[in-house]
Structure 1
Amino acid sequence: MSECDSVEKSTESNSSARESQSEHDGVPQRARLPLNRKRQGKSTSLYGKNPDSKLGPKAALSQGATLLVQDPSAQKLQWCKTPLTALVIRKPGDFNINQPYKRAIELLVERHLRVFVEEGTVDSLCLPEHCKPKLTFFNSEKDTLTDKIDFIVTLGGDGTLIHASSLFQGSVPPILAFNLGSLGFLTPFDVESMPEAIDKALAGEVGLTLRSRLKCVISTKDYSDQLHDIKSLENGFFRKSDSQASYSVVNEVVIDRGPHPYLCHIDLYVDRRYVTSVQGDGIIISTPTGSTAYAAAAGASMMHPSVPAILIVPVCAHSLSFRPIVLPAGVEIMIKVAADARNTAWAAFDGRNRTELKHGDSLRIITSIYPLPSLSKLGQLEDWFSSLADCLHWNVRKPQKALHKSEMSETSSSAVSLSSLTMDEASLSP
C-alpha cells in the first residue's frame, strides 16, 4: 500500500482524526508534506540522522524536546488526493493581466478542475463555452472558501499573494504565484511557463516554502483580561464580535501614532512579561517573510522565510539604543497603549484593516499554526537569493578594478622597502 493510500484510508475511516490532523498540519487535506522523510536522502537534523539528546554525562533534554532542524530541501508538495478545485486570483485594474487570467482558467478547466473566481473579474473575458459551466463565482466580502479550495493560482505581485492569503484565516492551500506585478519578491514563476508550472504543481513535482504567518487578536478593554489562550482561537473557537477582531498576516503588523502629532507610546510584553515601552513613530512585528519588506526599510536584518522567528523592529525610535531584535517563533507578544500616553495608537495588518488601539485595548500576536505554502520555482534558497538580487539588488556594486602589472610591481617594491626599514630598526635597537 502506498503512503498516500494509507493516509487516505485512515482519513476516510476516522473523520475526527482527519480534522485534528488538519489543524496541526496547517495544510489542506488534499495537499500534505511528504510523510516519509527518509526518501529525501538528506538528513533533516542539525546533529545527524539520530541526534543524541544527552547533554554531557548526567544531563539530557526534557521529554518532548528535539534537536531536529528542518532541511529546506526536504519540504516538497505531495498530493494525497487528486485536486478537484482551484482558485484563481488576479491583480485588479490591470488590463495586461486579462490574457494570462483567461489562459490560467482555460488550463485549469482542461485539467478537469472546477475554477473559483471573484465576481466581476471575467466579464470582459471571451471565455470558451466549455469553460463557463466549470466556473464558480464568489464574493470575498461575504463568502468563505474554507475547505472548498485545493489549489491556488495568483496573477500579480506580492500584494495579490497577500490578498489570497487573507481569504484563508485557517488552513491555506498550496499557492502557485506568477509574477505580473511591480516587484514580485514572493512570486517566482514567469507567466510564459504557465502550462509547465501548473502541470508540475498538480503532479507534485515542485518544492515548497512554508511561510509563517502571524495570528493577531485585538481585544477591547473589557475583554482583554478574559482572553487567556489565543492559540485556541485558531482551532475554530473564534467568532468576530464588537469586543474582538482577528487577522492572519504574511508580512507584518505595524503599530504607529496614526494622525496624532505626539510620539507613539506603547508598552511591549513578551509571554505576559513587561519588556519595555516604545516611544517613537511606531513598531513593526514582522514574520521572516516580512523581513524583506517594511522591516528591512526600518533597519532589520533580512531573514530566510524558513527561519522560525518573530522580528520586533522600532520605527524611528526616540532612543538610539533601541535596535531591532529577533525572538523565537513560539512566544506571544502583546501590545498595549501606555497608561500615560498622550494619544491612542493605530494598527495595520499587512497594510490593511487599519484599527485604532485605545487605552486598555490589547493586541496579542503569535505565530500561526497555519503557514502560507508557497510553491518554489528552483528551490527555497535559490528563489530567495534570486529575489534578493533581482528585486532588491542586494550587494550590487561596481567591482573593484584589478591592478596593472606596473602597479603591482610598485606595490611589491613598497612592501619590500617597508620590510627592510623594519629590519634596520630592529638591528639598531639595544
Structure 2
Amino acid sequence: DEWDETWLSCTREGNECYHYVGDTLAFPKQTNLERGHFLHGPYPATHFGPKACVLPNPTSVMHIQDPASQRLTWSKPPLNVLVIRKIRDETLLEPFRELCRFLVEEKHLMVYVEKKVVDDGSLMRDDSFSAIRNQLCTFREGFDDISDCIDLIICLGGDGTLLYASSLFQGSVPPVMAFHLGSLGFLTPFKFESFRTEVDKVFEGNAAIILRSRLKVKVVKGTFQKNEQLLSAQENGILPHNHINNEAGKITLQLQVLNEVVVDRGPSSYLSNVDLYLDGRLITSVQGDGVIVSTPTGSTAYAAAAGASMIHPNVPAIMVTPICPHSLSFRPIVVPAGVELMITLSPDARNTAWVSFDGRKRQEIQHGDR
C-alpha cells in the first residue's frame, strides 16, 4: 500500500457549520515531486472543483495561513450542483423535493442526481414533482464521469452520505455542503430547516472553511518468496529490494479515502499478522484482528471505537490503530502527514488479509502484495 495525503475542507462560522470538500494531487515519497511542507504540515489545496478556491489572506506572512482562518470564494458563479440523498430512507423524500425545487425554480441551477434516486417509486408517482424531475440531470456511479462539471455538492443524510460523495471524486473535489438528516453527524451539522438561508450564504462566497485530509491508497500485487535473506532483513528492520519489486508490481487499485483504510483477518480463524513500514523502514508488526490507518476525520469513526484518540481536523497527521492486538505494547500511534506507510503480510503469516476503504471495495491481500 502506498499512502499519501489529500485535503478535504469544511466550514465553521459562529455556531453554524458549513462543510466543503477539496483535495490536491499527492506524489509518492520516492519521486522528485514531493509535497512541500510548511508550519501546519503539507501544503493543502487551494482549488476545489472547477470554480471554488480559497480566498487569499492579505494579512498572512509569506502567504502562510492557519488552516482554521481560510475562507472560500468563487472564481465564477456556480451553475452545476450535485445533490446526494441517502437512499432507502422515506423521511428524506420531502427534504429532497424542497431542495431540488428551490435550486431549479428559484436559483435556476443545473441539478445533478443519481439515476437510482430519480427512479424511486415514490418520486415517480408524485405528479407535483414531475416538472422538476424532468429538469434533473442523472448519472450512474461507475459509468458517468461528472467530476469536471460539478461546482457544489449538497448532501442530505448522515456521515455515510458525505463519505459516499467523497468517493465519487477521486481527483479535485468540489465544495460540499452537508445537512444532518441521518444517524451520525460528525461531518453534517447543518440544520435543514434553514437550508435556503444557508445555501444563499455559501453562494455569496467568503464562507469560512476548515481543511480535512484524505489518504491516497494504492494496492500493488506482487510475488513472494520466503527465504532466509528476507527473514534476516526483516529482523534488521530493512525492506529488501528483492522482496518488493516496484517495477514488477502491478497497481490493481488506487483510491482516495476520507475516513480510513482497514486491514483485517477477514473470515479466517487465524490472527492477522502484518508488517507496517514507514518510508520503507519497518516500524512494527501487528498481530491481532487487524490495523486501521485513518485520517483525523476517520479518528472519530472506527479508530475511536478501537480505542484511538480523536484528532482535530486541523492537525496534519495519520493515525495507526491496532484492532484487538495480541500484544501488551502496541497502542495507537500518530505519524506525520505526508509520509508513506506500507502494509504487507508478515513472512510467517498463516493466512491472507482483507482490506477495505471507507468500508467499501473490500478485497483480499495475498503474500507479496502491499
Shorter-chain-normalised TM-score: which range?
A: 0.7 to 0.9
In structure 2, do the counterparts of structure 1 residues 26 and 254 end up closer, same or farther at CA, with 3 Å as the change threshold?
A: farther
Distance 2:58 2:194 in 1: 30
Report if the CA contact (8 A) 2:57-2:65 is conserved. no
- Structure 2 length-normalised TM: 0.77
- Structure 1 length-normalised TM: 0.67
Residue of structure 1 in register with 2:112 after alignment: 116
Higher relative contact order (CA 8 A, sep 6+): 2
Residue of structure 2 in register with 1:199 after alignment: 200
Distance 2:246 2:256 in 1: 21
Distance 1:111 1:316 in 2: 51
Deviations 1:204-240 (A, max 9, x none): 1432122100011001015962269xxxxxxxxxxxx
Residue of structure 2 in register with 1:219 after alignment: 220
CA displacement at 1:29 relative to structure 2? 2.9
Distance 2:337 2:321 in 1: 15
Deviations 1:217-264 (A, max 9, x none): 001015962269xxxxxxxxxxxx985101111111111111111110
Distance 1:26 1:252 in 2: 24
1:288-307 to 2 correspondence within 5 Å?
288-307=296-315
CA displacement at 1:275 relative to structure 2? 1.2
3-state SS in 1 of match to 2:200: helix
1:30 to 51, 55, 58: 51
CA displacement at 1:329 relative to structure 2? 0.3
Residue of structure 2 in register with 1:361 after alignment: 369
In structure 2, do the counterparts of structure 1 residues 227 and 314 end up closer, same or farther at CA, with 3 Å as the change threshold?
A: farther
Residue of structure 2 in register with 1:174 after alignment: 175
Residue of structure 2 in register with 1:95 after alignment: 90
* AA of the residue aligned to 1:27: F
In structure 2, do the counterparts of structure 1 residues 118 and 227 end up closer, same or farther at CA, with 3 Å as the change threshold?
A: farther
Distance 2:317 2:323 in 1: 19
Percentage of identical aligned residues:
52
1:133-212 to 2 correspondence within 5 Å?
133-212=134-213
Distance 2:284 2:359 in 1: 25
Report if the CA contact (8 A) 1:113-1:134 is conserved. no
Q: Give 1 or 2: higher strand fraction.
A: 2
In structure 2, do the counterparts of structure 1 residues 97 and 276 end up closer, same or farther at CA, with 3 Å as the change threshold?
A: same
CA displacement at 1:324 relative to structure 2? 0.8
Q: Give 1 or 2: higher helix fraction.
A: 1
* AA of the residue aligned to 1:78: T
Distance 2:251 2:268 in 1: 24
Residue of structure 1 in register with 2:66 after alignment: 70
1:268 aligns with 2:288: no
Distance 1:292 1:259 in 2: 26
* AA of the residue aligned to 1:98: L
Report if the CA contact (8 A) 1:26-1:170 is conserved. no
1:325 aligns with 2:326: no
* AA of the residue aligned to 1:275: I
Distance 1:154 1:308 in 2: 25
Report if the CA contact (8 A) 2:57-2:70 is conserved. no
Residue of structure 2 in register with 1:396 after alignment: none
CA displacement at 1:134 relative to structure 2? 3.3
Deviations 1:285-331 (A, max 9, x none): 01000111111111111111121100011111111111111111010
Could you list the runs of 5+ residues in structure 2 that have no partner in the other structure? Answer: 1-43, 225-243
CA displacement at 1:24 relative to structure 2? 5.4
